[in-house]
Structure 1
Amino acid sequence: MTLADAGRRLPASARMRRAISNGRVTAVLILLPPALILFTLFVTLPLGESAWYSFFNWNGYGTPSNFVGIANYERILNHSVFHIAVGNTLKIVAISLLIQMPLALFLALLIYKKTPTNAVFRLVFFLPYILAEVAAGLIWSFVFDGNYGVTASIAQSLGLGNVFILSDPDLAFMAIMTVIVWKYFGFHMMIYIAALQSVPQDQIEAAKIEGASRRQVVRYVQIPHIKPAIAVSAFFAIIGALQVFDVIIPLTNGGPSNQTHTIVTYLYTFGLTRLNIGFGSAVGVILFVGAVTVAVFYQRIFMKRAEA
């Protein structure tokens, strides 16, 4: 019987006395109330207010009084632009999982060892993540500019004339996804590097002595050890994809013809900027429910499998 099992079999009063003597109760009483207060003020109450406002046709001024029930939700679900926004959000999730994460893992496997050269490469690859999202969007908007940007210079040198990528409905969202992969792959790469550095070196050496190739070492030794890190990285990628906003606004502002909206930019454009706060609150509630559902589903299934 382990010490943990013995502790569980103690009477409740004895466990309480032990917790008090260890200082756990004191720590909880000191640290928990401030956290609960902050969480209530900045998370729970705003969410509750958003859910309440979503049942009103309200412009944000005064007290909401025009109760419309679920009309805002019906308008959202019947709005073609919302369908486009949901589709684009799912595309970003897919790109993050199928391109961004494999790229980050590939580079992490190349530069995870602690050498001065690898440290320089890590810094270079991680710099885009440090850069502010709005700044990154503005930089890439210049790169994709059809008149004066880098893309224009390359197209003109090839004799293609001016190419306006961000004005083309078919190319604009591909440009956005390119920026997203460039911006965030460094974050996932650092997660993988930290996990790879914790893989026991003796197991890698033993596999090499047994004649395992580099690919086999990666597949059968390193990747199984970093499965929890991959699961956490995928979780961050999915939740981050659901919240993409700052990169898109300076690049396309949801255009052309509302073809590059995500759920968050849709909320901003059709809710906040048009002073339709009730409508925007309904979009926020839908996004929150979707994000929580994904988080709970992912934690209960994929995280447990990774830890097993």
Structure 2
Amino acid sequence: MQMLDARSPASPRPARRIWRGAGSSRFAAIAILLPPALILFSLFVILPLTESGYYAFFDWNGYGTPQDYVGLRNFEQIAGHSVFHTAIGNTTKIVAISLFIQMPLALFLALLIYRKTPTNAVFRLIFFVPYILAEVAAGLIWSFVFDGNYGVTAAIARSFGQESFFILADRDWAFVAVMTVIVWKYFGFHMMIYIAALQGVPEDLIEAAKIEGAKRSQIVRYVQIPQIRPAIIVSAFFAIIGALQVFDVIIPLTNGGPSNQTHTIVTYLYSFGLTRLKIGFGSAVGVLLFFAAILVAVFYQRIFMKGSRA
């Protein structure tokens, strides 16, 4: 009986051995892979954030040890600076443009070219190229396009017998040009997210909708868009966080001008903090931007991501 019990398939001992072996291998993998990741994360994320929070309470130019403690004065100056208010407004506009123009445009194009055909592959490549292009290069290219003397806009104006229009030097139109470049630069990224999601929609659902007499617009609205809702939620999150970080496109285009009308929060930090050697002031702006990003991430996670999982 003892021999039969030892060989019985119901004996828990082999299962325990397997569980212990899997647990030990998992622990070994964690012990090997986690310390390097924690070290890198601490060096390049935790430490800079901690130092920025410390420098924000000093009037410091970046040389030597910060000694001129000013408390909350940097934050008070930021709150009372009109250019910072302009930067917040511009960042908000970029968020709105990303959500209500860039994403719908990307979804529209994805619905047109998501099917796997050679022609659609060419169009996907063409639309995705702007995203591959470096931000600085894109800014320089479009600065030439908008140039009122030698650019494309100047040539178009002269062809219609009109005077050249310096868009990037106009207080009312410069930021419109910036937002145009941002939409052109990043819509391909969101388009590829939607294409990947649309290719995962079961064809049976679409065929069933066609059999029931649904039109193309009804299939998109009631079948495809609900099926790719998680992808849309993730895409919107990337759009919002990306809008908070816009920098490389604006610097070669306008450098925040004219008259500080095209600054975002990040370009404001760069122009009024780093370039003027006011590291404490810039650190205070960075702290505010960090908390804004955290609030957006937490709010979005609780409201939209939670609903998506449900």
The two structures have a TM-score, normalised by structure 1, of: 0.94
**Which residue in the other structure is 1:283 paired with?**
285
Hey, what's the Cα distance between the residues in 1 that align with 2:277 and 2:56?
Answer: 13
1:89-133 C-alpha deviation (Å, 9 max, x unpaired)? 000000000000000000000000000000000000000000000
**Which residue in the other structure is 1:216 paired with?**
218
The one-letter amino acid of 2:140's match is: L
Distance 1:19 1:307, change over 3 A: farther
Q: Which runs of 4+ in 1 moved over 4 A?
A: 16-20
Hey, what's the Cα distance between the residues in 1 that align with 2:260 and 2:173?
Answer: 13
User: Secondary structure of 1:23's match?
Assistant: helix
User: Secondary structure of 2:262's match?
Assistant: coil
**Which residue in the other structure is 1:32 paired with?**
34
User: Secondary structure of 2:57's match?
Assistant: coil
- Structure 1 gaps of 5+ residues are 1-13
Hey, what's the Cα distance between the residues in 1 that align with 2:228 and 2:35?
Answer: 36
Deviation at 1:307, TM superposition (A): 2.8
RMSD: 1.4
User: Secondary structure of 1:259's match?
Assistant: coil
Match of 1:173 among 172, 175, 180: 175
- Maintained 8 Å contact 1:227/1:307: no
- Maintained 8 Å contact 1:20/1:26: no
The one-letter amino acid of 1:126's match is: F
- Maintained 8 Å contact 1:19/1:25: no
Hey, what's the Cα distance between the residues in 2 that align with 1:192 and 1:91?
Answer: 23
Q: After the TM superposition, which of the residue ranges 298-307 and 70-79 deviates more from structure 2?
A: 298-307
**Which residue in the other structure is 1:307 paired with?**
309
**Which residue in the other structure is 1:65 paired with?**
67
Hey, what's the Cα distance between the residues in 1 that align with 2:210 and 2:64?
Answer: 71
1:115-173 C-alpha deviation (Å, 9 max, x unpaired)? 00000000000000000000000000000000000000111111220100000010000
Q: Superposed, which structure 2 residues align to 1:67-86 within 5 Å?
A: 67-86=69-88
Instruction: Say yes or no: does 1:156 pair with 2:174.
Output: no
Instruction: Say yes or no: does 1:127 pair with 2:129.
Output: yes
**Which residue in the other structure is 1:8 paired with?**
none
Deviation at 1:303, TM superposition (A): 1.2
Deviation at 1:21, TM superposition (A): 3.7
Deviation at 1:304, TM superposition (A): 1.5
Match of 1:198 among 190, 197, 200: 200
**Which residue in the other structure is 1:10 paired with?**
none
Distance 1:19 1:63, change over 3 A: farther
Deviation at 1:29, TM superposition (A): 1.3
User: Secondary structure of 1:114's match?
Assistant: coil
**Which residue in the other structure is 1:240 paired with?**
242
Deviation at 1:201, TM superposition (A): 0.6
**Which residue in the other structure is 2:12 paired with?**
none
Match of 1:96 among 78, 95, 98: 98
Match of 1:250 among 237, 249, 252: 252
Distance 1:184 1:56, change over 3 A: same
Hey, what's the Cα distance between the residues in 2 that align with 1:96 and 1:307?
Answer: 24
Hey, what's the Cα distance between the residues in 1 that align with 2:195 and 2:21?
Answer: 38
- Structure 2 gaps of 5+ residues are 1-15
Deviation at 1:23, TM superposition (A): 2.3
Deviation at 1:18, TM superposition (A): 4.3
Hey, what's the Cα distance between the residues in 1 that align with 2:204 and 2:24?
Answer: 38
User: Secondary structure of 1:187's match?
Assistant: helix
Distance 1:162 1:170, change over 3 A: same
Identity of aligned residues (%): 78
User: Secondary structure of 2:172's match?
Assistant: helix
Instruction: Say yes or no: does 1:264 pair with 2:276.
Output: no
Deviation at 1:300, TM superposition (A): 1.2
**Which residue in the other structure is 2:48 paired with?**
46
Match of 1:229 among 220, 228, 231: 231
Greater radius of gyration (CA): 2
- Maintained 8 Å contact 1:72/1:282: yes
Hey, what's the Cα distance between the residues in 1 that align with 2:291 and 2:25?
Answer: 38
Hey, what's the Cα distance between the residues in 2 that align with 1:149 and 1:79?
Answer: 35
- Maintained 8 Å contact 1:147/1:162: yes
Hey, what's the Cα distance between the residues in 1 that align with 2:209 and 2:248?
Answer: 45
Hey, what's the Cα distance between the residues in 2 that align with 1:241 and 1:268?
Answer: 16
**Which residue in the other structure is 1:4 paired with?**
none
